[in-house]
Every structure is written in C-alpha cells, then in structure tokens.
Structure 1
Amino acid sequence: MLPTNNVPWTAGQWTNEPARVLIDEDGLRVTAREGSDAWRVTSYGFVHDSEHALLAPLAGGSAVEVSFRLDFASQFDQAGVFVRVDETTWIKSGVEWSDGEESLGAVVTRGVSDWSLSPVSGWSGRIVTVRASRSGDALIVRARVDGEPWRLVRVAPLDPDATVKAGPFCCSPTRDDLTVHFTSWRISPADRSLHPGA
C-alpha cells in the first residue's frame, strides 16, 4: 500500500501561471488572474483553458487530497482539485461561488463539459478538503469541511491506463483579486470502495 505523503508546493507545474504565488510556513497562496476558468462548450458555447492548476503525476491506485480555506465572494470564484489527462479530458472539483452562495460540485469534461452543484451553507471561513481517488476505471471524488465526514461528490469515468496529473487549482472568472490559501496537498492510497463499509 502506498504511504500518505505531503507533496511539496514546488513539485508541480502550472497549467497557466497565476498573477501571484506565495509559499510560506502556512501553505500556498495563489492570486488568480481575472478571467481564469476551465470549461468546454456546453451551454455557454466557449472554451476556457486558463485555469491555474498546479499538477503532478497521479498514478493508478492513488488519491490526491487538497485543502484550502474557503473565502469566496464573487460569481464563479472556485478552488479545489484538478485532474487532467489532456486539454479535452479533465475533471475539476471543489467549491464554487455561484449565484450568491457557495456550492460543492464538479465539472467532468470529455470533449465537452458538464456541471453539478450542491449548496454548502456554513462552510465559509473553514478548511475544505477535496479528495480524488483513481480506482479501476473511475475517479471517485469526495469532500469535507474541517473534520466532518466525507461527502461523495462525483463518480466519473477515467481510463485506468491514462497518464494523469492532478493537484490544487483555482479560477477567478469575474475579478482580479481572488487569493486562495491552500493549506495542504497530499498523495495517499485510493479509497478501497465507493461505499463505506463495503
């Protein structure tokens, strides 16, 4: 079984350079560029490949966990985990400010994007952790706030033979001053089962 390891903030490569990056003893602070986002076609008709994702290899049978302090205020502020195969095959999952509230959700993209959201009232100002496990032909995404129980966010198809990179991400489609404070980035063994106790 793989051990759980902290990933150094310097280990990954950015898909797109943020406006500012600060690494200190408290973690990683990333200031997103205005207009940054990740989306392909569906409903909106546009393609955005300007997200700020700090990615490192994610092997089969392993999971990536990213934690950040939730402090959003503008439409579509977002942060969490980004899992990438290539420019048309990727998954982002985390918390997004949409229509006046924070929601936990995911975008799964295979040529075109889909989107799912569920409100998470009471999460603001707290530490959110998003976990994505490569298990067989699936990516299993869970999330929680502070030490509360994990919530299942999404089960998405993922080629078990694909070369995958993953890590923290943030986007700021509508403003130029979103700074996300990431507190940890870890790699661990994938979840053993989709359902607890199974």
Structure 2
Amino acid sequence: MTQIRTDWDKGTWMNSPLSARVEGDHLKVIAEKGRDFWKKTLYGFEFEDGPALLAEWDPNSAVEVSFQLNTFNELYDQAGIMMYHGPEQWIKTGIEFNDGIPQLAVVVTDGYSDWSLCPVPDWAGEEVTLRASIMKDAVIIRARTENHPWRTLRVARFPYESGNQAGPYTCAPKRDGFEVTFTRWSFTEPDQDLHVDPPVKGAFV
C-alpha cells in the first residue's frame, strides 16, 4: 500500500490556532482556550471555531492523522481528524480527555451533533493514528497505536461525493497551553472491507 505523506503547508487552516510550527517532520500546534466544534445537541450552544488544517479529500482515498498522546491531561483536550463538508455536515474523531482518561471520541454532525466515547486508558503516552475511509454512503473510522491494533470506532453516514476536506484538528475548550505534536498526515488507499483491517505500514512517497 502506498501512502502519500501530506506536507503540512499543503493544508489551509480553518480557524488558525494560537500557534503552529514545523519541527522536522512534525507539526506542533497550540490550541486557543475555549474553541471547539459542536452544534446544539444537549448543550444548546454552537461552536465552529476550532483550528483544523484541511485539504481536499478525494472520496476514493482514506485519510490518516497521527499524533502523540503525552500532553493530554485536562478535560476535553482533544486532537484527531476533521472531516468537513460544510457548516452543517462534518465529523471530528480522535482522542478526547474525559473522566480523567483518554477516550476515543467521534462527533457526527448533520445539523445537530452527537458524541460517542470509548475509554482507552492503556493508550496514554503513545502515538495514536486515526483513519477515515469512505465506502458507499458512509465513512469507516478506525484507530490504533504502535502497540495496539486497528479497532473500528464507528460507521457514520457521509454521503457526499465531492466538496469534502479532511485533516488534523485540535481543540482545548477548558484550558490554556494545550500543545499537540502531529507526527503524520497522509492520504492513502481506501478500506476494501469493513471487516478487514487496513495495513499498518506502507511506503511513503
């Protein structure tokens, strides 16, 4: 499987972070306190001001984002992939710190947001990879670390054949100074089957 590593400067910020700097192959991002993505459900408020570095997403490819988990320690610290079609239709997925532990989180929004969580306390301090791959009218969302195999988090409706963007995002709704080190962003071959894990390693070009 060939993975095309995306240069950080190929993306465009949807809402700039407090700071972003490239160090070697990595991108270090500091999120501004109070910014997030959410629409209406339960809380009533609407946010679409979190920083997301986006590029065009061909539905015939999967997108992967990797980052280090060693700085997540306060409520709602989060980072992962933003899949964006428009202000009413988007999905964010990644790690979100909640109830004192890291959790795999997915927020699916189609006018209203929903939120799912899965605790992964044994992933603390590792490098995490999130993956999203469109199949028919849905997106398959998976995650792994260097020490834990792929797990499927969600199959969510995402029927848009064009106008999609995807890339790394991070938010810190509750605190100042949250910095995430993103280690990789790539577009690669899509999933072939819901029940077959994608390869973990491939050649970068």
One-letter amino acid matched to 1:33: E
Which residue pairs with 1:168 in the alignment? 168
Which residue pairs with 1:179 in the alignment? 179
Identical amino acids, percent of aligned pairs: 43
Which residue pairs with 1:142 in the alignment? 142
Query: Contact 2:81–2:92 (CA<8 Å) still a contact in 1?
Result: yes
Query: Can you list the C-alpha shifts for 1:168-197, whole angstroms capped at 9, x where unaligned?
Result: 000000011000000000100110011128
Which residue pairs with 1:124 in the alignment? 124
Task: Within 5 Å, give how 1:26-37 maps onto structure 2.
Answer: 26-37=25-36
Query: Contact 2:19–2:30 (CA<8 Å) still a contact in 1?
Result: yes
One-letter amino acid matched to 1:186: S
Query: Contact 2:85–2:160 (CA<8 Å) still a contact in 1?
Result: no
Query: Can you list the C-alpha shifts for 1:153-177, whole angstroms capped at 9, x where unaligned?
Result: 1111111423100000000000110
How many pairs are equivalent?
196
Query: Can you list the C-alpha shifts for 1:124-160, whole angstroms capped at 9, x where unaligned?
Result: 1110000000122111100001142100011111114
Structure-2 separation of matches of 1:117 and 1:83: 18
Mean Cα deviation higher: 44-53 or 140-149: 140-149
Task: Within 5 Å, give how 1:46-57 maps onto structure 2.
Answer: 46-57=45-56
* 1:97 counterpart = 2:71: no
Query: Contact 1:61–1:136 (CA<8 Å) still a contact in 2?
Result: no
* 1:62 counterpart = 2:61: yes
Q: What displacement does 1:51 show?
A: 1.1
One-letter amino acid matched to 1:196: V
Structure-1 separation of matches of 2:25 and 2:63: 19
* 1:188 counterpart = 2:201: no
* Structure 2 spans left out of the alignment, 5+ residues: 198-205
Query: Contact 1:40–1:113 (CA<8 Å) still a contact in 2?
Result: yes
Structure-1 separation of matches of 2:91 and 2:49: 14
* 1:14 counterpart = 2:13: yes
Which residue pairs with 2:202 in the alignment? none
Q: What displacement does 1:90 show?
A: 0.3
Which residue pairs with 2:201 in the alignment? none
Structure 1 ranges of 4+ moved more than 2 A: none
Query: Contact 1:79–1:180 (CA<8 Å) still a contact in 2?
Result: yes
Structure-1 separation of matches of 2:99 and 2:125: 18
Q: Secondary structure at the match of 2:97?
A: strand
One-letter amino acid matched to 2:54: L
RMSD: 1.3
Query: Contact 1:136–1:160 (CA<8 Å) still a contact in 2?
Result: no
Structure-1 separation of matches of 2:147 and 2:193: 20
